[in-house]
A and B are shown apart, each in its own frame.
Chain A
Amino acid sequence: MDPLTLFAVLLKDSALALGGLGSLPLLRQDLVATGFATDSQLVQALAIGRLSTGPNGLWIVSLGYQMAGLLGAAMALIASSIPPLVILPATAVARRWLLSVPFAGLVRGAALATAGLLCATGFSLIVPAGDVPSWWQVVIGIAAAVFTYQGRLHPAVVVIGGALLGLLLAR
């Protein structure tokens, strides 16, 4: 994929996503399903995004770096930094509309759909298509979901725990 197209995809998917992880299903469909990236690259990016500092949405910088080196990382950084700033002119000229009932419904609809898409993506990472996961991988997936939902365990601990169990149990 040429750099300009990659930037366009990253920008589009960041602009249409809600939250730092919201672009995951969109990018997986645009980059993994089309063969430009792999699920392994996606997993590495997500894991590093959780271990690194700053917003967890920076996982796409890791993905950009894996796909196109420093240029890819810079493009991902710009693509993920621009769309959220639309809130600045929006609050200046349309604050009342942002707080209206229809807009609340629009954001709720998008958030619920994003939740469903993220559920499907998370499920696909635990149970990849055409592949049967080991019992311990299913246990890790369920435990990670529970710990994340409860919010009692730091995300970095969950990632490192998964990696350590992989080292112990993978053959």
Chain B
Amino acid sequence: MRELARIFIAVGTQSVGGGTSTLFLLRRFLVERGAHLSEREFTEAWALCQLSPGIHLVALAGLLGQRVAGWRGVIVAVSGMMVPAAVITVAMTAAYGLIADQPLARAALQGMAPATGGMTLGLAIVLARDARRHGLRTVVDVSVVIVAFAVLLLTTVSSIAVIGAAALIGAVFLGRERPTTPEGAVG
């Protein structure tokens, strides 16, 4: 149990930027170094976690923690990965808050806003690329993306309604191919 805690605290505090770097560290500690799981078990768990709501890496931590040490493993893995990282995030936010009103910080924010906007855009395109089907079906899938884009920009319809409607349409019309890839737009 202690080793499990050590592994997930290390993953939470050593992977900067989330996404693939967190996934890479998890694989390294649990599959390559610790041999707690086989490569196949890890890949299967990740494929399942991409079906979960919210942060997929939390689902992965929970699933892997459960495999290694049951429900106590879930708590240790999720809190080990999330709590120290959250403390670091709060410390960084508090530190930025001290200088947020300074002219230099405001100038930096004018560059960070389009940078974060562009990163969001880039991740969205990766998400669409990984979720879309192939051949002519791509046209249908891209249409869903464009409609959701237009609805949010041009109307006041709730985003939740958009996701719910797309999920229903998906369940009826968009099956047939697996929607996930080994790494995808992780988070």
Contacts and interface: CB of A to CB of B under 8 A. Distances in A.
A54 B163 contact: no
B124 to A, nearest CB: 4
A58 B186 CA distance: 13
Contact of B170 (A81, A91, A108, A146): A108
Contacts of A161: 115
Given A47-B115, A170-B106, 9 more contacts: A20-B55, A51-B17, A58-B82, A105-B179, A111-B128, A118-B127, A133-B114, A144-B118, A163-B108
B51 interface: yes
A49 B89 contact: yes
Nearest to A26: B159
B112 A47 contact: yes
B80 to A, nearest CB: 10
A138 B130 CA distance: 26
Contact of B53 (A46, A47, A84, A155): A84
B85 interface: yes
B35 interface: no
Contacts of A119: 121, 124-125, 128, 145, 148-149
- What does DSSP make chain A's interface, helix, strand, loop or mixed? helix
A57 B112 contact: no
Contact of B89 (A58, A82, A120, A121): A58
A4 interface: no
B174 interface: yes
Interface in B140-187: 141, 144-153, 158-160, 162-163, 165-180, 185-187
A25 B151 CA distance: 12
B30 interface: no
B88 to A, nearest CB: 5
Interface string B103-134: 01011111111111111111111111011110
Size category, A interface: 35 or more
A62 to B, nearest CB: 4
A114 B19 contact: no
Contacts of B141: 108, 112
A84 B127 contact: no
Contact of A145 (B48, B106, B125): B125
Contacts of A101: 175-176
B57 A57 contact: yes
Interface string A132-157: 01000110111111111101001110
B88 A112 contact: no
Contact of B174 (A90, A108, A137, A138): A108
A39 to B, nearest CB: 7
Contacts of A51: 16-17, 92
